[in-house]
Amino acid sequence: MRTVRTFRTAVAVAGALGVLSLTACGAAETGKSNEAGGDKTVKLTVPSWVGAQANVAVAKHILEKELGYKVKTQQMGEVLAWDALSKGDIDGILEDWGHPKEEKQYVETKKTVVKGGDLGVTGHIGWYVPKYFADKHPDVTDWKNLNKYAEEFRTAESGDKGELLEGSPDYVTNDDAIIANLKLNLKTNYAGSEAAQITAIKKYAKEKKPFLTYWWTPQWLNAQVDMVEIKLPEYKEGCDADPKKVACAYPHTPLQKFFNADFAKEGGEAAEFLKNFKWTTEQQNEVALMIAGEKMSPEAAAEKWVKENEATWKAWLPKK
């Protein structure tokens, strides 16, 4: 028995020594990242909405076919993407809808992330009802009348309140605060993803049923389902500063690109190309519609667009 105990002690000591030797050998490298694939690799995050997937698909196609890079993509939540960007796990975010807290933390304080300029697309978030409903009840577009129509928006999930259809949990949203602060008889219901939200909207539209949804432009579906924005109290600079007290509409956001600081400095042609990457809302919608509406794979959609719009993307290539 005593031998066993000695053995046990020995194991414990060995384990402790192992950990010590591991830690004693010095400070760890901090900027460690998944360097799978060597130098000519660019890592991009793929946000979950189709518009942003279009950016990445086109950028990836050009980087791989024209500049000889290998592009790795990873889907993750927006906030997580910021953190990964800071750590160097990814090199760039091509479409950001505004994360003031993260921007302050990573760009200004830690300086691990740098701004990458405009994407060229202006985004806007708002509350929308279908046009066929707004035509019948024109006064619904004023938020003050929403409580009057709350009953029309009721569903199994929202109980006795009107439903405000939401998308993916990681989207930028102040809706719960807005509802509370404007004393609206509404309840948010998260579809869980853009795709689920679109499915729900399409179904409502087919049956010409009333609905109220969190929605945004640019969005390819806007070409297929006509929607009208509800006028919330006007957006003023700083009215959304305190997340709990928001009672105003969403701003119009010029969508931004962000890069990892090291990548921006040492990323060579890839970094230069991504900085130059800039297109219009229509161009993005064109690709997004191919992916989501026509069920093409992002690769195929990008290839098609690149073939047809050579003039546009030639300008993004680094000057030799």
CA dist 268 and 258 (Å) reads 16
Residue with Cβ nearer other proteins (172 or 317): 172
Task: Give DSSP secondary structure letters for 113-172.
Answer: EEEEEEEEEEEEEEEEEEHHHHHH-GGGGBGGGHHHHGGGG--TTTTTSEEEEE--TTS-
Q: Closest separation between CB of residue 53 and other proteins, Å?
A: 9
CA dist 174 and 188 (Å) reads 11
Q: Are 126 and 219 in contact (CB under 8 A)?
A: no
DSSP strand pairing (213-217 vs 252-260)? unpaired
Residue with Cβ nearer other proteins (132 or 190): 190
Q: Closest separation between CB of residue 113 and other proteins, Å?
A: 12
Binding site for other proteins (CB under 8 A): 1-8, 11, 15, 22-23, 26-30, 32-36, 46, 48, 74-80, 82-84, 86-87, 89, 105, 109-110, 156-157, 159, 168-170, 190-196, 199, 295
Phi-psi region of 211 (alpha: psi -120 to 50; beta: other; left: phi over 0): beta
Residue with Cβ nearer other proteins (14 or 315): 14
Q: Closest separation between CB of residue 195 and other proteins, Å?
A: 4
CA dist 122 and 284 (Å) reads 11
CA dist 186 and 151 (Å) reads 9
Q: Closest separation between CB of residue 258 and other proteins, Å?
A: 15
Q: Closest separation between CB of residue 191 and other proteins, Å?
A: 6
Residue with Cβ nearer other proteins (86 or 313): 86
Q: DSSP 3-state assignment of 302?
A: helix
Please report, as a single letter, which amino acid is at residue 84: A
Residue with Cβ nearer other proteins (59 or 200): 200
Residue with Cβ nearer other proteins (137 or 304): 304
CA dist 197 and 176 (Å) reads 18
Q: Closest separation between CB of residue 137 and other proteins, Å?
A: 25
Residue with Cβ nearer other proteins (30 or 183): 30
Q: Closest separation between CB of residue 315 and other proteins, Å?
A: 31
